[in-house]
């Protein structure tokens, strides 16, 4: 029996960190149910734990529900996400005084929902520009996630500016997209698109004449409350108990994962306190273990030829049958069937 740690050499450590909010995972499922070819009889999708999830979880979900890993598909998804889905960040954006303040809020508070990218807002006499740069290599679905994130920002601008003014925006990106009617959102068709050959970032520029465009949904009182909520949520996410537990688990071999009491002791708290803190974050210790096991199992099945038996032992199961039953409970299919999913 081989022994490996969950932090595998071919999975970057950052892929296991919490970076993407569960609301967008659910939005992806909803989008595929409405516009894609998702068959719930063949794909079992559980309710996502509220809060931030790892890029590995995102990658596995995108593959499972059949999203094409293309920027065009990403834009289509991004345009479908309403401002309300962004929580306090979305509220801060739409209650801002003007478009300039909207994009300042987006740049500052988006990391509370999507921490895959670095967001920078700059203004000069000609325009205001938000720069979106990946924080690390985000893999095969990088273009989808990159374009999807930019798409949500354009969707927000379209909501606030309206169809006439949105045509004055410019998006510069490292892809050439084909404008083939319904396959590309009318919002992107209406924005000037520029190709940045060899670039690894996206820019959305708003002319100076629009920066002081007063938002019809502006509300100074709600804006202040939303910003306070954003700052509070960012602080909570940075000190999440679930994130601390997952970090500890990811540094250990699956076969040596501690009991709940052992984990509590390592974190300097009682078993009861740890359970209570996790309950406040809508999860349990066993659910966190299952989440890591699920993501690692899906990754290995997709990217290696390791036998199901060896994988079962590596993930701390006593037998292949035990692992297969658990995998079916997690994913609604067997490990062998999951391995055969189309790329």
Tens of pLDDT, residue by residue over 253-297, are 777 789 999 999 999 999 999 999 999 888 899 989 988 888 889
1-5, 78-82, 216-220, 305-309: segment of lowest average pLDDT: 1-5
Is the pLDDT confidence value at 333 over 60?
A: yes
The percent of residues in the chain predicted with pLDDT above 70, rounded, is 90
Using 50, 70 and 90 to split pLDDT, how confident is the model at 136?
very high
Q: What is the pLDDT of residue 212?
A: 92
Mean pLDDT, rounded, for 53-76: 91
pLDDT of residue 5: 40
Mean pLDDT in residue range 33-40? 75
> What is the distance between the alpha carbons of residues 296 and 34, in angstroms, rounded to a whole number?
29
Residue 24: is its pLDDT beyond 90?
yes
Q: Residue 239: CB partners within 8 Å, gap ≥ 6?
A: none
What does the alpha-carbon distance between residue 44 and residue 311 come to, in Å, rounded to a whole number?
Answer: 21
Q: What is the pLDDT of residue 236?
A: 74
The closest alpha carbon to 17, from 326, 207, 237, 253, belongs to: 237
Look up residue 42 and give its DSSP letter.
T
User: CA 50 → CA 47, 104, 242, 307, distances in Å?
Assistant: 9, 26, 11, 33
pLDDT at 252: 77
Q: Which residue has the higher pLDDT, 7 or 114?
A: 114
Q: b vs e for 190-202, b when ≥16 Cβ sit within 10 Å of the residue's Cβ?
A: ebeeeeeeeeebb
Tokens, residue 136:
């690390």
Instruction: State the average pLDDT over residues 96-114.
Output: 95
120-147 mean pLDDT? 95
Mean pLDDT calculated for residue range 49-76:
90
Instruction: Write down the pLDDT at residue 233.
Output: 82
Residue 67 corresponds to which tokens in the numbers above? 């999203």
The secondary structure of residue 86, as a DSSP letter, is G
Parallel, antiparallel, or unpaired for β 127-134 and 202-207? Answer: antiparallel
More confident of the two residues 106 and 38:
106
Question: Which pLDDT belongs to residue 2?
Answer: 35
Tokens read off for 333: 């299919």
Span of 129-143, 161-175, 294-308 with lowest mean pLDDT: 294-308
Question: Of 104-113, 133-142, 150-159, 326-335, which range is least confident?
Answer: 326-335
Residue 180 binned pLDDT confidence (cut-offs 50, 70, 90): low
DSSP class of residue 166 equals G
What residues pair up with 214 in beta bridges, in sequence order? 98
Task: Calculate the CA 217 to chain-centre distance.
Answer: 27
Phi-psi region of 158 (alpha: psi -120 to 50; beta: other; left: phi over 0): alpha
Which pLDDT belongs to residue 91?
A: 96
Give the residue-averaged pLDDT of 302-323. 89
In this predicted structure, the answer to whether residue 30 has a pLDDT above a threshold of 80 is yes
Q: Cβ distance 101 to 123 under 8 Å?
A: no
How large is the average pLDDT for residues 296-318? Answer: 88
């Amino acid at each position: 029996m081989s022994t490996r740690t969950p932090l595998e050499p071919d999975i970057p450590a950052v892929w296991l960190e919490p970076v993407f909010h569960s609301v967008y995972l659910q939005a992806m499922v909803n989008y595929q149910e409405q516009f894609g070819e998702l068959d719930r009889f063949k794909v079992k999708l559980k309710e996502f734990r509220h809060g931030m999830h790892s890029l590995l979880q995102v990658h596995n979900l995108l593959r499972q529900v059949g999203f094409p890993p293309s920027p065009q598909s990403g834009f289509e998804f991004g345009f479908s996400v309403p401002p309300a889905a962004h929580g306090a960040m979305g509220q801060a954006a739409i209650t801002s005084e003007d478009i300039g303040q909207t994009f300042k809020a987006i740049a500052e508070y988006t990391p509370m929902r999507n921490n895959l990218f670095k967001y920078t807002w700059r203004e000069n006499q000609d325009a205001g520009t938000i720069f979106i740069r990946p924080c690390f290599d985000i893999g095969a679905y990088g273009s989808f996630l990159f374009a999807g994130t930019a798409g949500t920002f354009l969707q927000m601008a379209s909501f606030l500016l309206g169809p006439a003014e949105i045509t004055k925006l410019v998006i510069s990106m490292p892809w050439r997209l084909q404008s083939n009617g319904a396959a590309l959102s009318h919002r992107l068709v209406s924005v000037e698109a520029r190709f940045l050959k060899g670039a690894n970032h996206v820019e959305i520029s708003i002319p100076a004449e629009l920066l002081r465009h007063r938002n019809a949904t502006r509300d100074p009182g709600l804006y202040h409350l939303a910003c306070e909520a954003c700052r509070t949520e960012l602080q909570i996410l940075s000190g999440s108990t679930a994130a601390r537990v997952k970090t500890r688990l990811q540094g250990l071999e699956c076969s040596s994962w501690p009991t709940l009491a052992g984990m509590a002791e390592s974190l300097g708290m009682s078993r009861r306190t740890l359970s209570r803190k996790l309950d406040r974050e809508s999860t349990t210790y066993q659910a966190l273990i299952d989440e890591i096991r699920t993501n690692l199992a899906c990754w290995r099945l997709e990217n290696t030829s390791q036998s199901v038996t060896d994988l079962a032992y590596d993930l701390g199961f006593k037998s292949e049958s035990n692992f297969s039953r658990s995998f079916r409970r997690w994913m609604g299919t067997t490990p062998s069937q999951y391995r055969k999913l189309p790329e």
